Amino acid sequence: MRTQRQPAAPLAITLALAALPACGPAASPPPLPAATAPAAPAQPAPQGLPVVETKLESVGLDEAAIDRSANPCQDFYQFACGGWLAKAEVPGDEAYWMRSFNEIEKRNEAELRRILEEAAQAGDRDPVSKKIGAYYGACMDEAAVEAAGAKPIADLLAKARRVRDAKGVGALVTELHVRRIWALFDIASAQDMKDATRVIAQLDQNGLGLPDRDYYLNEDDKSKALRAKYQEHVARMMRLAGAQEAAAKAAAADVVQIETELAKISKTRVERRDPKGLYNKLDRAALAKTAPDFPWDAYFQGIGRPDVKEVNVTSVRFFEGLSRLLKATKPAAWQSYLAWHVVRSTAPALPKAFVDESFTLQSALTGQTEVRPRWKRCVDSTDNALGELLAQPFVKTSFPGESKPAAESMVREISDAFAREVRSLDWMDEGTKQRALTKLSAMAYLIGYPDKWKTYDFEVDPKAYAKNALAARAFHTRWDLGKIDKPLDRDEWQMSPPSVNAYYDPQRNHMVFPAGILQPPFYSVKSAVAVNLGGIGMVVGHELTHGFDDEGSQFDAKGNLEDWWSKDVGAAFRTRTGCVEAQYSGYEALPGLKLNGKLTLGENIADLGGLKLAFMAYRAMRKGAAEQTVAGGFTEDQQFFLAHGQAWCGKMRDEALRLMVQVNPHSPPRFRVNGPLANLPEFGEAFKCAPGTPMRPTNMCTVW
């Protein structure tokens, strides 16, 4: 997920595909460029200490998940997860199922459901319970949703039918954007990349109904077949919205044609990983010159920000092309396109027929066989609309007091490990080292939940779900755009506290770890240090390393897009990241489907650095221990690596895996396990892997 330079892609993917596991055959690492010089070693493993033997479960690991028949030096993912993989099934309403993320989400979801159902049924309620209960209750009132039909969007559809020219397109796009229906493009507040203390407006490419531009432009058989399914899907949705069959088919053809033209002028996902290319600040006059056929003055007036004087445009070429498209496309086609985006965006709040038809596209993309139960969709909807209200009762019951200080301790240990690593690097000069350490010392972290809760000043009607959903969207647009030209709030959260996820924001230079992820199996007060560091410790290290990956490294300690590297050090850094790119580009997720090493580079660097830092921190935390624990026959080092492997056990459908490889900046979890471990000498030593085996290759990649 990303526009401008918003947070590095979260650790896990949400809805349409976050950290998704591979379920294809094991892959040996491809040949790599020559290994770089080794960096500072971790503390040595304890020697000669009294041994305490125990079971794996007592340290926080799962014996049943292990496949002891597998060779850990050939495919550690299979070794750590093979037992789980043999028994686990992907639920019908899911695209994938992971032992860690989904199991935690399942617990969190059940607790959120309990909170919301009690809130919806309570009599005398506090303001928080009243609002979240009313919103959830309206969502769960399926009879009322069915009775309302498509009436909640009738006015917008009528306006779409009245569009006659580019000015009319602009007028309706303005109304849709207020409701976060992103036809053509989107708008948001964003930090100025050259002055991170400033919040400015940003315009970004958008307006497609398929997940990525390449779905419209690729000419392989699978892409062609999916486009045909998509066009049929659009036609059926337009029929549900009231169009006659012939008109619906014609409208669908127009929609696909317009979206194909938008795809042609859109940047690729790899191009969008270049922060410099995403920074094009224009004043209003320059914006009008770039896209003269769009009514910008009326647009900014309509979204409530006529005072905006300058904007960042993530792609000048996109908006130049958009202007030409406005002039060249017939009004009837724009009517169809705008009506489609109204229906597509609001379908989850409409009757079952819309939900079911919307699911046909999701099923084609992900392989899911069942629509998620209504209560799950309503929990998600309430979280999206009122996240920091819903979080308040959640953290009271689901965020143990010891989790926050434990996470803070890990952040400190892992930060110290990174500092030691930087000081030991032989490819970095002293000046660049000092600037890296300055950035590290300025890095902040938010843990659990915000210090100050957001307030939501929109009315909730307990009998009108679609109305509430649109009101919530309008509130979030108003709240977001209201930040423009205001002082930056560095402590703002961009993810709700129940999220099983984490992120790093390079412009705020901070890491965020929600309460939702600080739970077993990632973290437990009952688990051994090695297991906690292999789980949540790797997450912390991953997010910290994002500050120094191929994108994060382009921002300085203050969050400004600034080249703080000397020329020679920058070249050495690119050589090392090139090694990682080549490694992952050689991995095959499914037969004939290789990973995109350029798209996944930042996440792969973060995985490698995060695991290495977590291992160093674990060794430091165990220094001076009076005894060593052997669990299920595994040493403490081996327990650390097993914890990492078992955090990523997962199954996914082939369709979802194909989607992930095409659009997601994360590698599938098989490679999030095997990839970084193959670059960590301590892993090969722990499992006594012979040099030259897949998990201990002759040449290894080292960045940090």
Residues noted as catalytic = 543, 607
**E strands within 75-153?**
96-98
Q: Is the peptide bond before 521 cis (omega within 30 degrees of 0)?
A: yes
Q: Do 509 and 497 meet the contact criterion of CB atoms below 8 Å apart? A: no
Q: Measured in whole angstroms, how far is the alpha carbon of residue 339 from the centre of its chain?
A: 29
Neighbouring-strand partners of residue 283: 310
Q: Do 518 and 501 meet the contact criterion of CB atoms below 8 Å apart? A: no
Closest by alpha carbon to 475, among 459, 461, 462, 490?
Answer: 459
What residues have CB less than 8 Å from 25, skipping those under 6 apart? 588, 591
Alpha-carbon distance 332 to 338, whole Å? 10
Alpha-carbon distance 220 to 582, whole Å? 25
Positive or negative torsion for Cα 172, 175, 176, 177: positive
Percentages helix, strand, coil for the chain (3-state, rounded to 5) are 55, 10, 40
Q: Do 703 and 577 meet the contact criterion of CB atoms below 8 Å apart? A: yes
The alpha-carbon radius of gyration of the chain (Å, integer) is 26
Q: Do 422 and 433 meet the contact criterion of CB atoms below 8 Å apart? A: yes
Q: How far is CA 177 from CA 2, 291, 351, 495, 638, in A?
A: 18, 18, 23, 21, 52
Q: Is 695 helix (H, G, I), strand (E, B) or coil?
A: coil
- Angle (CA) 18-21-25 rounded to 5° is 150
For the record, the structure tokens of 616 come out as 């160093």
Q: How far is CA 384 from CA 374, 447, 498, 499, 665, in A?
A: 15, 20, 11, 11, 23
CB neighbour class for 688 (10 Å; exposed up to 12, middle 13-18, buried from 19)? exposed
Other beta carbons less than 10 A from residue 457's beta carbon: 7
Alpha-carbon distance 669 to 369, whole Å? 22
Q: Do 100 and 522 meet the contact criterion of CB atoms below 8 Å apart? A: yes
Task: For the sheet with 503-505, list strands across it.
Answer: 444-448, 510-514, 503-505
What residues have CB less than 8 Å from 315, skipping those under 6 apart? 204, 205, 265, 266, 267, 277, 278, 280
**E strands within 351-456?**
444-448
Closest by alpha carbon to 172, among 330, 285, 336?
Answer: 336
Neighbouring-strand partners of residue 205: 185
Alpha-carbon distance 8 to 602, whole Å? 8
Closest by alpha carbon to 329, among 384, 259, 263, 385?
Answer: 259
**Placement of tokens 């909807």 in the chain:** 381
Q: How far is CA 506 from CA 4, 10, 442, 444, 567, in A?
A: 11, 12, 11, 11, 22
Q: How far is CA 340 from CA 51, 132, 212, 248, 293, in A?
A: 66, 30, 17, 10, 22
